[in-house]
Amino acid sequence: MADAYDDLLDRYERINALQDGSGVLYWDQQVMMPEGGTPARSEQLSALSAVTHEQLTADETERLLDAAEDEDLTDEQAAVVRELRREYDRATQVPERLVEEHSRLQSEAQDDWREAKADDDFSAFEPILSDLLDLRVERAEHIDPDRDPYEVMFEDREPYLELDTVERIFEELKDGLVPLIDDIRASEEIPDAFDGTFDVDAQESLSRDVLDLLDYDWDRGRLDTSAHPFMSGNQFDARITTRFDETDLLGAVSSTVHEFGHATYALGLRDDAYGSPLGQPRSSGVHESQSRFWENHVGRTREFWELVLPTVKDRFPQVSDVTPEEAYRTANRIESGSLIRTEADELTYHMHIILRSEIEREFVSGDLAVSEIPAAWDDKMERYLGVRPDSDSEGCLQDIHWTGGFASFQNYTVGSVLAAQLWATIEEELDDPRGLIAAGDFGPIRDWLTENVHRHGSRYTTDELIREATGEDLTADYFLDYAEEKFGEIYGL
Amino acid sequence: MADAYDDLLDRYERINALQDGSGVLYWDQQVMMPEGGTPARSEQLSALSAVTHEQLTADETERLLDAAEDEDLTDEQAAVVRELRREYDRATQVPERLVEEHSRLQSEAQDDWREAKADDDFSAFEPILSDLLDLRVERAEHIDPDRDPYEVMFEDREPYLELDTVERIFEELKDGLVPLIDDIRASEEIPDAFDGTFDVDAQESLSRDVLDLLDYDWDRGRLDTSAHPFMSGNQFDARITTRFDETDLLGAVSSTVHEFGHATYALGLRDDAYGSPLGQPRSSGVHESQSRFWENHVGRTREFWELVLPTVKDRFPQVSDVTPEEAYRTANRIESGSLIRTEADELTYHMHIILRSEIEREFVSGDLAVSEIPAAWDDKMERYLGVRPDSDSEGCLQDIHWTGGFASFQNYTVGSVLAAQLWATIEEELDDPRGLIAAGDFGPIRDWLTENVHRHGSRYTTDELIREATGEDLTADYFLDYAEEKFGEIYGL
């Protein structure tokens, strides 16, 4: 008997459908909406958010949770109740007043951040950042007064993965990556085989070609452009956006492949579990492992470039002389001098993340005053990447993310580390996966990921899922091995 | 003091925002969504519809309504409360189970209809149409068990206009139109000046050109294609869709102008009243008067074709020999043999509507079994228009509308009748409106409509609004005068 469970699941499916509906409104706003539509869209999103919150925090939800927890549940059902309990607790433990004030402050903070960045003046952002910090620490203490507030924040995005584990992995990455990046900096630069300008319409056609090669399911997806690429949707409708820059042909390709990876996760979730945690992605870190897997472990291999280069040449005869080896090397160029996270390459990217993580930790704990962030940032940049920002705009003001929350960056690196661990497992379990890439036969790789990651949805906790899929806990080893081997060979180290 | 009123309005604005959100999801489903997305979209729409219904029917709504009705309200505020009371009453009379089931069924019915139409197989649509019929009759009986369910359905779309009035006008139209159409059928056919095939991409460009000429506000709108053209949105974001047929250049132009007319209504609503009945269109019949006004009283005039023909020739040099007079006459060809409502001309169109109205009346009352619809349809077509469909696809399966509701067709004819009445008023009140069209100076006409129709939102009841704008009750006279004069001249009757 699982009567309360069934009612609880119905309730949650409705909540999920409302959230998914908001997702479509957000996608439309980014991709389709005419500029003038903002006032109406804001009202729509805010109304949806309010009723979704009401549904989640209703007394009836608690009654059903309590009753379901007393029922005799299967393992899958118990996992569903665990997830709903967690969401309910997190939603109800924070007083409404705080939620509202936080929401108001976030909105203001975006304006202050924009101004501060434009004026290159951190002090204009500092007061509201301090207020946000206080409010978020208060919120974390409401959720769990006995734990480090930063851990609570981290678990907003990455439940069931210890921050300790992640920080240990970050230390290992630092130890491995800083010398590797140093060695690369001392090596000869790799020439850009795709130097030039590339018609944007032809780039869009190429992105479609690449998605065809990857066997993207157009019956359940679409490709559009937006200012910031993203994937939006679910197992029935997983849409990709990308962006095009006339001078950056490979940027659009890798961003398309990255978002394709996110889409494979959504499309690999169980159709019959739509709306249930069993049919939802585990976490943003696991999501990122799928995008990074396709972007890097498929899309930045020699074999991929052997496969895809003829198609690139069909769209751009101007690169007809480029060899697969040159394309492969260009796709893997390390530009260690970049100050900006979103422009960073596969290696230096993680130093941007580690830096943010360390700084956040310090100012959330109170060890670093908010006013000291710019100097701490610049020092770390110099230490980790050998470059020092000239301005706050290119330093600690570069990302809008702090207006939305703290502890939201680690997942990018968790994703890369997990992607490498998954690739290593696939190399053990599949016969010649690189050969499959060269042959454009992506089915077995994708099926493996679906079977071992996607189809579990949120059935397992994050650490369980990683063990289930790879046979061991999350570790930096595979990523470091992969990085040292690949870049060692490319840069002749 | 209007405290309860303010709270009531807040509440209603949220409800309206949720409904508008559903509108975006619907637009997306028709225009953007990949085919496979239906199961998730159905859940989203159904969840949204359920929570919207909950918000509307909450005890708190009734409490606020009761309190607001006791407050000292301005005329505008009283109008708002009148509208909310009507919506509340209609919603509370229908059980939630029925609302959700209906919403899910409607979504599924769209797929079934598409398949049935493609396969020319009414029996594939019949089961879900029967289910929809049962559900809608049940719903109408909940709203008012003492009235004819069909009248209740009619008032869903056209509140405050008696079905009796409309049916009387239909009889007058039959009396006037059947002999007129007969005379035209006996006259010499007008040659098609736009015979040939027309590149679809160039047609899309032409539709954009025409919207530019009409001064469509692209900052608050967009143009896309969909199987069935429609307008979706509000005063901030009023989107148009159209469709293109290689062999029908004028079809796309008139459909674009028609939807532009709908958009002018949305865009003419008050920005500051978004979410309130004062910022919402009065009814679908009034909406249709705006689309028909632009489609027929502007877009099918000699003056419009003098204005627009050079642009047509720019896009399609193949028609460089066509004169404005030939274009005008082609735009007004009466093809009495057309089986398809959406392809019907300005006169025979109304016979398609009257046919639907009569058939619906019969199957809603139970006098006609759902399975008998195809035969009844074909018989009436033969009687009213002298043609008999060869297939259900060209007969009773031609429209998607029954998946959305019954009694939704009368408004098209109400719209035409009102459009003619509005044009007659404008001819009295503006100096040389035809000259304005020839000059491409649409501002004064649009401003008049905004001032006299759009800006009132739902401030007045439908019959009040018609009197307010035209000085008299709805009448078939102006439409019949207009039709006899225009087509009499064109066909030399």
Residues of B with a Cβ under 8 Å from any A Cβ are: 13-15, 17-18, 20-21, 24-25, 28, 32-41, 43-48, 50-51, 55, 217-222, 233-237, 239, 271, 274-275
* pLDDT value for A2: 65
User: Given an 8 Å threshold on Cβ–Cβ distance, is B34 in contact with A237?
Assistant: yes
Chain A residues whose beta carbon lies within 8 Å of the beta carbon of residue B221: 34
Q: Compute how many other C-beta atoms are within 10 angstroms of the C-beta atom of residue B361.
A: 19
Nearest alpha carbon to residue B154 among B363, B460, B408, B357 = B408
**Residue A401 tokens, joined:** 């993310």
* pLDDT value for A396: 95
Backbone angles phi, psi at B235, to 5 degrees: -65, -15
Q: What is the mean pLDDT of residues B89-94?
A: 90
* pLDDT value for B369: 96
Name which of B51, B217, B274 is nearest A55 (Cβ-Cβ).
Answer: B51
User: Given an 8 Å threshold on Cβ–Cβ distance, is B17 in contact with A46?
Assistant: yes
CB B282 within 8 A of CB B458: yes
Nearest alpha carbon to residue A479 among A335, A340, A324, A354 = A354
Instruction: With cut-offs at 50, 70 and 90, classify the pLDDT of residue B107.
Output: confident
B-interface mutation test, from A35, A43, A225, most B Cβ less than 10 A away? A43
CB A477 within 8 A of CB A417: no
Report chain B's terminal Cα–Cα distance, integer Å: 63
User: Given an 8 Å threshold on Cβ–Cβ distance, is A274 in contact with B40?
Assistant: yes
Q: Return binding residues of A for Zn(2+).
A: 258, 262, 288
Nearest alpha carbon to residue A341 among A333, A331, A332, A352 = A352
User: Given an 8 Å threshold on Cβ–Cβ distance, is B48 in contact with A18?
Assistant: yes
Rounded mean pLDDT of chain B? 95
Residue of chain B nearest A218, judged by CA positions: B34
pLDDT in tens, B40-87: 999 999 999 989 989 999 999 999 999 999 999 999 999 999 999 999
* pLDDT value for A1: 55
Q: What is the mean pLDDT of residues B301-329?
A: 98
A-B interface: how many C-beta pairs under 8 angstroms?
Answer: 132
* pLDDT value for B7: 96
Strand partners, A241: A224
Minimal Cα–Cα distance from A266 to chain B, Å? 12
* pLDDT value for A176: 97
Name which of B18, B220, B234 is nearest A47 (Cβ-Cβ).
Answer: B18
Chain B residues whose beta carbon lies within 8 Å of the beta carbon of residue A44: 17-18, 20-21, 24
A-interface mutation test, from B24, B225, B240, most A Cβ less than 10 A away? B24
CA distance B461 to B474: 13
For residue B240, give the 3-state DSSP assignment.
strand
CB A478 within 8 A of CB A420: yes
Q: Return binding residues of A.
A: 258, 262, 288
Which positions of A are annotated as active-site residues? 259
Instruction: With cut-offs at 50, 70 and 90, classify the pLDDT of residue A293.
Output: very high
pLDDT in tens, B334-364: 987 789 887 888 999 999 999 999 999 999 9
Tokens 């109408």, located at residue: B140
Report chain A's terminal Cα–Cα distance, integer Å: 63
pLDDT in tens, B450-467: 999 999 999 999 999 999
Q: Compute how many other C-beta atoms are within 10 angstroms of the C-beta atom of residue B383.
A: 11
User: Given an 8 Å threshold on Cβ–Cβ distance, is B237 in contact with A34?
Assistant: yes
The DSSP symbol for B276 reads S
Q: Return binding residues of B for Zn(2+).
A: 258, 262, 288
Residue type, A75: D
User: Given an 8 Å threshold on Cβ–Cβ distance, is B24 in contact with A28?
Assistant: yes
Instruction: With cut-offs at 50, 70 and 90, classify the pLDDT of residue A337.
Output: confident
Q: Is the dihedral of CA A265, A267, A269, A273 positive or negative?
A: positive
The DSSP symbol for A409 reads S
CA distance A142 to A126: 24
> Is 70 exceeded by the pLDDT of residue B2?
no
Residue of chain B nearest A222, judged by CA positions: B34
> Is 60 exceeded by the pLDDT of residue B245?
yes
Chain A residues whose beta carbon lies within 8 Å of the beta carbon of residue B32: 28, 32, 222
* pLDDT value for B258: 97
**Residue B435 tokens, joined:** 């000259």
Instruction: Report H helices in A70-125.
Output: 75-92, 96-119
Instruction: With cut-offs at 50, 70 and 90, classify the pLDDT of residue A29.
Output: very high
Name which of B38, B46, B237 is nearest A37 (Cβ-Cβ).
Answer: B237
Does an H or E element contain A225, and which?
Answer: strand A223-225
Largest Cα–Cα separation, chain B: 68
A-interface mutation test, from B32, B49, B216, B232, most A Cβ less than 10 A away? B32
User: Given an 8 Å threshold on Cβ–Cβ distance, is B51 in contact with A50?
Assistant: no
* pLDDT value for A322: 98
Name which of A34, A43, A237 is nearest B221 (Cβ-Cβ).
Answer: A34
Total residues belonging to chain B:
493
Task: Give me the percent of chain B exceeding a pLDDT of 90.
Answer: 88
> Is 90 exceeded by the pLDDT of residue A342?
no
CB A341 within 8 A of CB A359: no
Residue of chain B nearest A21, judged by CA positions: B44
CA distance B250 to B165: 34
Q: What is the mean pLDDT of residues B285-307?
A: 98
CA distance A87 to A93: 10
For residue A136, give the 3-state DSSP assignment.
helix
* pLDDT value for A159: 87
> Is 70 exceeded by the pLDDT of residue B1?
no
Q: Compute how many other C-beta atoms are within 10 angstroms of the C-beta atom of residue A74.
A: 10
**Residue A66 tokens, joined:** 């309590």
* pLDDT value for A157: 87
* pLDDT value for B408: 87
CA distance A52 to B10: 17
**Residue A350 tokens, joined:** 């993680």
CA distance A447 to A459: 18
Backbone angles phi, psi at A234, to 5 degrees: -150, -165
Name which of B13, B21, B44 is nearest A17 (Cβ-Cβ).
Answer: B44
Task: Give me the percent of chain A exceeding a pLDDT of 90.
Answer: 92
User: Given an 8 Å threshold on Cβ–Cβ distance, is A44 in contact with B14?
Assistant: no
Tokens 């490709």, located at residue: A223
ipTM here: 0.93
Rounded mean pLDDT of chain A? 95
Does an H or E element contain B168, and which?
Answer: helix B163-186
CB A129 within 8 A of CB A410: no
* Structural domain spans, chain A: 1-92, 147-493
pLDDT in tens, A173-196: 999 999 999 999 999 999 999 999
> Is 70 exceeded by the pLDDT of residue A23?
yes
**Residue B149 tokens, joined:** 């369910």
User: Given an 8 Å threshold on Cβ–Cβ distance, is A18 in contact with B218?
Assistant: no
Domain A147-493 bears CATH identifier 3.20.20.120: no
Minimal Cα–Cα distance from B480 to chain A, Å? 40
What CA–CA distances, in Å, run from B422 to B143, B460, B472?
Answer: 33, 17, 11
* pLDDT value for A376: 96
Chain A residues whose beta carbon lies within 8 Å of the beta carbon of residue B263: none
User: Given an 8 Å threshold on Cβ–Cβ distance, is A218 in contact with B34?
Assistant: yes
Q: Compute how many other C-beta atoms are within 10 angstroms of the C-beta atom of residue B229.
A: 22
Instruction: Report H helices in A319-372.
Output: 324-331, 348-365
CA distance B472 to A122: 66
Q: Compute how many other C-beta atoms are within 10 angstroms of the C-beta atom of residue B240.
A: 26
Which positions of B are annotated as active-site residues? 259
Hey, what's the torsion of the CAs at B202, B207, B209, B214, to 10 degrees? Answer: 170
CB B431 within 8 A of CB B448: no
Chain B residues whose beta carbon lies within 8 Å of the beta carbon of residue A47: 13-15, 17-18, 21
Minimal Cα–Cα distance from A245 to chain B, Å? 24
User: Given an 8 Å threshold on Cβ–Cβ distance, is A219 in contact with B25?
Assistant: no
For the beta sheet containing B237-242, the strands, ordered from the edge strand earlier in sequence to the opposite edge, are B223-225, B237-242, B231-234
pLDDT in tens, A434-466: 999 999 999 999 999 999 999 999 999 999 999
Q: What is the mean pLDDT of residues B313-335?
A: 96
Q: What is the mean pLDDT of residues B205-224?
A: 98
Name which of A15, A33, A221 is nearest B34 (Cβ-Cβ).
Answer: A221
pLDDT in tens, B136-176: 999 999 999 999 999 999 998 888 899 999 999 999 999 99
CA distance A224 to A30: 10
Name which of B41, B48, B237 is nearest A40 (Cβ-Cβ).
Answer: B237
Residue of chain A nearest B20, judged by CA positions: A44
* pLDDT value for A464: 96
Q: What angle do CA A71, A76, A78 make, to 5 degrees?
A: 35
Hey, what's the torsion of the CAs at B457, B462, B468, B473, to 10 degrees? Answer: 160
pLDDT in tens, A343-385: 899 999 999 999 999 999 999 999 999 999 999 999 999 999 9
